[in-house]
Amino acid sequence: MVNISRRSWAQQCLDALLPQYCLLCGLPSRQALPMCPACCSELPVNAHCCRRCALPLASPTASLCGPCLQRPPIIDHVVAPYRYDPCIALLIQRWKYQPLPRLGITVAELWRSAVIKPPPVDLVTSVPLHWRRRWRRGFNQSSQLAELIHRGHPGLANSTLQLGLLHRQRATAVQAGLNARARSRNLRGAFTLRGRCENLRVAVVDDVLTTGATANELARCLKAGGAREVQLWCLARTPAP
């Protein structure tokens, strides 16, 4: 269950006057986040996963998944505290297409509460959107999540936030519905570097990791620019088909 800090007396009074409701079930949340304790407890923790790509593993003795053993990805490490399921999907879809401040804050708090001690990095950035998609959506959810995570996490005090480090130079087809190979072809050469990252450990923030095609293409771009290590930090990881 998500560990939410105690509410202050002022917050309790505010909740009495303007109660918050759970984003998933609609009942009063009765805690700092607009999610009730029951829904928080049902979020599927990605407790046993591949130590490289965070793919949920069936065997409790395995440390790497088959794909990472056969063909290690370009990305060095993935932090994904939850498994992608219908509750996570609903939360993320509402966040993307109803850009209310509390939705982004909720997603960031879920990540911060689950990842108490993130791996050490020098620089935090986000997956860039093409300008046309950003214009239609109104914001970049990955950049918002990166900013909220970095601003509120004590473990990231020694790192730098640089949201403009990566640029999507061409529009790509929607990834949903494409297999892993098609996603990789779709993204090849889509990103460019707009800053320096020589010998730095870089964390790229996104909402969900599916096949890893975007993460690998971003890692390729960053390592070509001299990055020493590239991690992907996201809220959830999709299980294997």
Q: Same domain for 24 and 109?
A: no
Check if the beta carbon of residue 81 is closer than 8 Å to that of residue 115.
yes
Quote the domain boundaries for residue 155: 43-237
Q: Which residues contact 37 (CB under 8 A, 6 or more apart)?
A: 1, 30, 31
What are the DSSP calls for 161-198, one per residue?
E-TTSEEE-S-----TT--HHHHHHHHTT-EEE-S--T
User: pLDDT value at position 96?
Assistant: 84
Q: Same domain for 205 and 220?
A: yes
The span from the CA of 126 to the CA of 139, in Å, is: 13
User: pLDDT value at position 5?
Assistant: 44
Q: Which residues contact 165 (CB under 8 A, 6 or more apart)?
A: 123, 125, 193, 194, 195, 197, 202
Q: Same domain for 108 and 35?
A: no
User: pLDDT value at position 76?
Assistant: 97
- Single pTM value for the model: 0.86
Q: Same domain for 103 and 16?
A: no
> What is the rounded end-to-end Cα distance, in angstroms, of the chain?
26
The span from the CA of 122 to the CA of 124, in Å, is: 7
Backbone angles phi, psi at 54, to 5 degrees: 65, 15
Q: Which helix (H) or strand (E) holds 149?
A: helix 141-152
Q: Same domain for 174 and 96?
A: yes
Q: Same domain for 91 and 129?
A: yes
Q: How far is CA 42 from the centre of its chain?
A: 19
Quote the number of domains for the chain.
2
Q: Same domain for 194 and 163?
A: yes
User: pLDDT value at position 1?
Assistant: 43
CATH value at residue 126: 3.40.50
Q: Same domain for 114 and 232?
A: yes
Q: Same domain for 20 and 51?
A: no
Strand 166-168 with 191-193, pairing: antiparallel
What are the DSSP calls for 96-133, one per residue?
HHS--HHHHHHHHHHHHHH-SSPPP-SEEEEPPPPHHH
| 148, HSE (Cβ side, Cα atoms, 13 Å) | 23
User: pLDDT value at position 56?
Assistant: 96
Write out residues in the chain with pLDDT < 70, as ranges.
Answer: 1-18, 170-189
In degrees, rounded to 5, the angle at the alpha carbon of residue 47 between the alpha carbons of residues 46 and 52 is 75
User: pLDDT value at position 13?
Assistant: 56
